[in-house]
A and B are shown apart, each in its own frame.
Chain A
Amino acid sequence: MTGEGNDSVSERVASARPERRLRRASVAIGRVVFGDRTGLTIWLGLVLALGLGLRVGFFITDTYPIANAVYNLAEGRLAMRPTDFQYSLTLGTQPGLHEYDGAFYARNYGQVVAAVPVLFVLEGLSTIGEPRLVLAAGWSLGVLLFGRSLAKVLDRPVIRRVASVVAAVSFLAALSVATALPREQLPLVALQLSTLLVTGMVGVLGYRLLGLFHERRVAVVGGVGLVTATPVAFWATIPKRHVFVTALLIASVYAFALSRTREGIASDLTLGSAYGLLGLIAWIHAFEGFFLVVSLFVVDLATEPRKGKRRLAITAGLFALSLLPMLVTNVLISGNPLRPPRLLYRVGAGSVELAPEQPAAPTGEAGVQGGESSSGSGSETGGGPGLFGPVLTLLALFETAVTEAKFVSEYAAVTVEQGVRAVTEPTRLWNVFVRRGHGQYGGVNSFEPIDLSVVESTPLLGALLALPALAVASVRRGIDAAGGLAPRHQTDLLVGTHAVVLAFVYLPRLPLFSQLTVRYLLPATALGVYGVVRLSAVRDAIEGEPRTLLATYGTVLIAGAGGLCWGLDALEPAVGEAIQFHATVGLVVASALALAVVARMVVPARVSSRPVAVGLGLAGGATTLFVVFATVEYFTYGPFVLDVIGGIARHVTVI
């Protein structure tokens, strides 16, 4: 991440040496991924901090088939037989397992494929060192890198010394308390690590997106807050798809924003990338990808109705390219490029997913042929001899495409219709967004009310209550329609549309058990935080009162942690009770923040930025505190990957 201040002479000299060239290449790649050194620092900081909370285990049973798929794909197998399962050997215990032609498949293959290289690295390093110590060494070396990069960003060389000491001490501590980490766990660890690495990117992308429109401090606070002040941090090491989708979605919004601020071919390429990144979401969850692409398409068309031929070609080309991995995966599984695993026969319990209900797999190893007469036939007709072969294949593909398009559009229509109905149900909206309460649990999770609403888990979103005030102010000022929307406002429109679309399609399925933080809406929640930072009152607070903000956040963490330890020890609450306590805190804090922001926006002469900064610190701190306690105390689903943390957690026995 160097690359600043090279004059042309030294550049010419540098390019002559291979190692310099390698260095320059890595700097170039680093620039594309992280943007600048600050981006890299944010990524390292988030990954290292959240890595402390990595527990090796299955938080949620949906992860079993995904982890099994990682293990099998690394072995070169896409189709799994029951003897190929590494984790949870029975079929009924793996929600999200699908069957086709006698073989089993997971879903979210984009996520599975991302974990495989991580697994190869882990396995490679484990031939040199103990797996447990490999991970501890990785963390310690990461701290060294973080120290170097933070020292440069803040221009405080002493940080490097501190980081060196932390790295050495933490590694020696890990060495003294190391327990065995069985090699069979590595595919699961790889899946969790890949999720963690992507979580760091959510922060980086948030920083880069906000950095396009605002000063650095706002971008940094916004980017970090997008992770630590939202449940993104909660899902950082639980390998569900939501963090992946969130990262790709924010990356797509960033690319869209770039396309609106750049000129010429750079603009075309970034617009194409905006579509392409959403195309990759389809590889993880086809229907989420579908609805998000529609939402981008609508906003893109509305804000830029005319496009040149080159722009159209590049956009279409990149989008088509991004769909290729999904199409290939589908062909390899069922022969039908447009039928993702989610639409194949399910094994086990009924689905609550955003996908048409799939029929249960017929019992027995034999046929999965029935019921899919018109689709799934691509590969069978493909083998025709002679000249007619390719023609027949094309015809079959065309037929498949038409069938699937009809199927998808029908499903989309049903989903939208259900969404419209769900929006008119106040109780549902209340339970999803404001107060989750304890309804509709059934026997799931031992009757424990462990789920939170959107605002309970992300009180920061309370600031969005100021949106109506903002709308009134805009109308009063008169929207300058001349020349269309500015790039930042086009981006706001896109973010708003995405959030509404996501809420819309998921509402009919919510509230639901095991959502913890309304995880289906995690990408929308993250976009909501972008919206919060775009509020001028919030930005003024970050720019004008950074010390108040940081001091409040820090105080909440320290005093809150102490208070919680004491209170939980005295009251000995059950997990559900503790989580409902956090819910109450979240609602109170969200109200306080909302009040401060609205007051600041309505009567700026009388209310300063200080209360807003305090409110932001409280809201962010409340979520971080919840995530920390959830990870350390409430959900003990596996041993920490860093044994030292496990030791500390054992000594802070709260519940």
Chain B
Amino acid sequence: MAPVSRLELGVVGLVVGTLVLTGPVVGVVDVATRNPTTVGDGGADATVERLDTDGLVIDQGRFGAGVLYLRIPEATVSVDAVEGRPRIVYQVRVPSLGVDAVETKLLTAGDTGTVRLDPRARGLDPAAVDDDRYVATVDVRVQSFEGDETIYRANETVEVRR
């Protein structure tokens, strides 16, 4: 047998073998549960490092996007002592415009350092924005099935730049 064919056969063996070994029938290792994707129990020490609320404005869309946008600034949160699978929730609400923007980041035990949350700008109906200023509430929370701790809360004025 040519060496290339042997190489290919080896790869097939590796793939199929691993598949069976980790599968429900043999089940030596459950590979999928090591990497959780959903929030669970737990908690973390977290503080907001940077959240520049000056960046919270409503302005005109660029590149020919003829709508208004609520720009939401990036928030950086430093986390420590993560237990279980909590998540950071960054929420910006402008009730009078019906905006409720939420960005979350899942943490896993042992995470330390800085977490970035950078929600996308929100499209707004140009016809609905008739005031020059709106009130927004900004929240940052550490959330898990065990608790919901608010680590940052502010009421901000959002300026409309037309």
Contact = CB atoms under 8 A, between A and B. Distances in A.
Contact of A577 (B10, B24, B37, B62): B62
B12 A580 contact: no
A509 interface: no
B15 A137 contact: yes
B66 A438 contact: yes
B18 interface: yes
Interface residues of A, number: 53
Nearest to A138: B15
Interface core residue of A129, A132, A160 (most chain B CB under 10 Å): A129
A113 interface: no
Given A167-B15, A571-B62, A449 B31 contact: no
A128 B31 contact: no
A574 B122 contact: yes
Contacts of A128: 19-20, 23-25
Given A446-B122, A448-B123, A449-B67, A639 B61 contact: no
Interface of A is mostly: helix
A629 B81 CA distance: 36
Contacts of A438: 61, 64-67
B11 A574 contact: no
Given A130-B23, A164-B8, A171-B18, A573 B35 contact: no
A463 B126 CA distance: 37
Contacts of A130: 19, 22-24, 31-32
Interface string A147-180: 1100000000100110010011001000101111
Interface in A434-448: 437-438, 441, 443, 445-448
B30 to A, nearest CB: 8
Nearest to A636: B120
Given A437-B64, A574-B123, A160 B4 contact: yes
Contact of A133 (B12, B22, B34, B123): B22
Nearest to A581: B63
Interface string B43-78: 000000000000000000111111101010000000
A180 B33 contact: yes
A157 B31 CA distance: 35
Given A443-B125, A575-B120, A577-B65, A175 B8 contact: no
Size range of the chain B interface in the assembly: 35 or more
A122 to B, nearest CB: 13
Nearest to B70: A574
A365 interface: no
A636 B28 CA distance: 33
Nearest to B32: A180
A181 B32 contact: yes
B151 interface: no
A495 to B, nearest CB: 33
Contacts of A639: 37
A554 interface: no
B67 A140 contact: no
B124 to A, nearest CB: 6
Contact of B123 (A160, A181, A447): A447
Given A141-B12, A168-B14, A574-B65, A127 B25 contact: yes
A359 to B, nearest CB: 31
Nearest to B33: A180
A536 interface: no
Contacts of A574: 61, 65, 69, 120-123
Contacts of A449: 61, 64-67, 123
B67 to A, nearest CB: 5
Interface of B: 4, 7-8, 10-12, 14-16, 18-20, 22-25, 31-37, 61-67, 69, 71, 116, 118, 120-126
| Ranked 6 nearest A-B pairs via Cβ | A574-B121, A129-B19, A129-B23, A447-B123, A180-B32, A438-B66
Given A449-B67, A572-B71, A574-B122, 9 more contacts: A133-B18, A133-B19, A160-B8, A164-B10, A168-B15, A178-B34, A181-B32, A446-B122, A574-B69
